[in-house]
Amino acid sequence: MLIRRPDACKSSEITPEQHYVGRRKFLAAAGVLGIGAVAGFVPNACAQDGQDPQVLGKPYGLQKDDKPTPWTDVTTYNNFYEFGTGKGDPVENAKAFKPRPWTVMVDGLVAKPAQYQLEDFLKPLVVEDRIYRHRCVEAWSMVVPWRGIMLADVLKRAQPTSQAKFVELTTLYDPQRMPGQQRSVLAWPYVEGLRLDEAMHPLTMLATGVYGRDLPNQNGAPLHLIVPWKYGFKGVKSIVRIRLVDRQPKNSWNISNPSEYGFYSNVNPEVDHPRWTQAKERRIGEFFKRPTLMFNGYAEQVAAMYAGMDLRKNY
Ligand code: MTE
C-alpha cells in the first residue's frame, strides 16, 4: 500500500488481457440483462461461457450501475502481504497454503471464551451470500459477492462482558506457511480492530467464501473480515483470534504509518490520503474514475454510529 501512488498503476498491469476479453462479454451481457440479473437473481452471464462462477446473493448498498467484479479480478488482484506485496503475488504464492485444519480463539472480555476447530466455529451459525461494494484505500474498488457469517453472531455466542468496548482480530503468524512474514514489511502478525458497535453491526461479516465457493487462499481463507463502509485494509485475512478488549486496539497499518492510516478508516471522499485524493476511485475493469461515496455508499446504515465525531481527526 505504500509502494506506489494509485495513479501510477497502468490498467494493463492490473488485469491480464484474457480477462479483459471475459469482462467485455460480461459487461455486454449485463447491459442486456439489467442490474437485477447481474445482482444475482439469475445465474450470471459469464457462467454460460465458463468464465466466472455464478453470482449468488442479495445486493447490499449497490448503486444502479454497480455490477459484480469478475471472479478472475476478485481472485487475482489482491493485497495480502503475507504472500508478497504485488497485487499478483498472493494468487501465486498462496497456492500451497492449507487453511484446514484451522483453529480460532475467541477470548478476552467475554463470559464464554473458547478455542474452536473451524467446523465447530461455523456449524451453528447462519451462512449468507451478500453482494457488497469493496473500496481499497489505494483508490480502487470492486463489487464482490461474498459468502459468510455475521461477526455479531460470533460475538453474541461468546457473550461480551460490560467492560468489552473493542474487538481485535489477528491473522495467523507462521512465517513458514506465510513467507511474506519473513520480511519486515509490516509488524507481524497483521492485526485490526473495530469498536464493539461496528463489530456488532449487521453489515459486518466474516467471509468464508466468494462467488458461492470457499474463499481462495489469496482472499484470506478461511476467515476474512468484511466491513463494507471502511477501506479494505480493515478487512484482516486468515483470522486465528478474535479478542474482546476495553481499549482501542493497535492496527497494523496505523502502527506502520500513523500519519497515513488511522483506526477508523471509514471511506470518506472528503478526507484525502496525504499522498492522493479519495474523492474518486477506479473500479477494477473500468476506464473512467467514478466518484467515491461517503461510507462507500452505506451512509444510511452506518452514519449514526459516528454522529458528533470529527471524521477528519478520526480518519
Ligand atoms: N490482511 C492481511 N492479513 N494481510 C494483508 O496484507 N491487506 C488488506 C486486507 N487484509 C491485508 C489483509 C488490504 S490493504 C486490502 S485492500 C484487503 O485485504 C484486500 O482484500 P481482497 O484481496 O480480498 O480484495
Q: Is the CB of 193 under 6 A from ligand 1?
A: no
Q: Is the CB of 69 under 6 A from ligand 1?
A: no
* CA of residue 235 to ligand 1 center, whole Å: 6
Q: Is the CB of 102 under 6 A from ligand 1?
A: no
- Could you tell me what percent of the chain has a pLDDT over 90? 83
Give the pLDDT of residue 52.
Answer: 78
Residue 15 has pLDDT above 70, yes or no: no
Atom of ligand 1 nearest to the CA of 231: 16
Read off the pTM: 0.87
Contact 217, 285 (CB under 8 A): no
Q: Is the CB of 143 under 6 A from ligand 1?
A: no
Atom of ligand 1 nearest to the CA of 81: 6
Give the pLDDT of residue 6.
Answer: 43
Domain extents for the chain?
11-269+276-306
Nearest residue (CA) to ligand 1, atom 24: 78
Q: Is the CB of 79 under 6 A from ligand 1?
A: yes
* CA of residue 236 to ligand 1 center, whole Å: 6
* CA of residue 78 to ligand 1 center, whole Å: 7
Q: Is the CB of 81 under 6 A from ligand 1?
A: yes
Look up residue 240 and give its three cell numbers.
486465528
Other CB atoms within 10 A of residue 29 CB: 16
Give the pLDDT of residue 33.
Answer: 29
Arithmetic mean of pLDDT, 6-34:
34
Q: Which residues contact 267 (CB under 8 A, 6 or more apart)?
A: 135, 229, 230, 231, 278, 292, 293, 294, 295, 296
- Grid look-up 452514519 returns 303
Q: Is the CB of 136 under 6 A from ligand 1?
A: yes
Q: Is the CB of 236 under 6 A from ligand 1?
A: yes
Q: What is the pLDDT of residues 213-256, one digit of tens each?
A: 999 999 999 999 999 999 999 999 999 999 999 999 999 999 99
Residue 50 has pLDDT above 70, yes or no: no
Domain with residues 11-269+276-306, CATH architecture: Alpha-Beta Complex (3.90)
Residue 16 has pLDDT above 70, yes or no: no
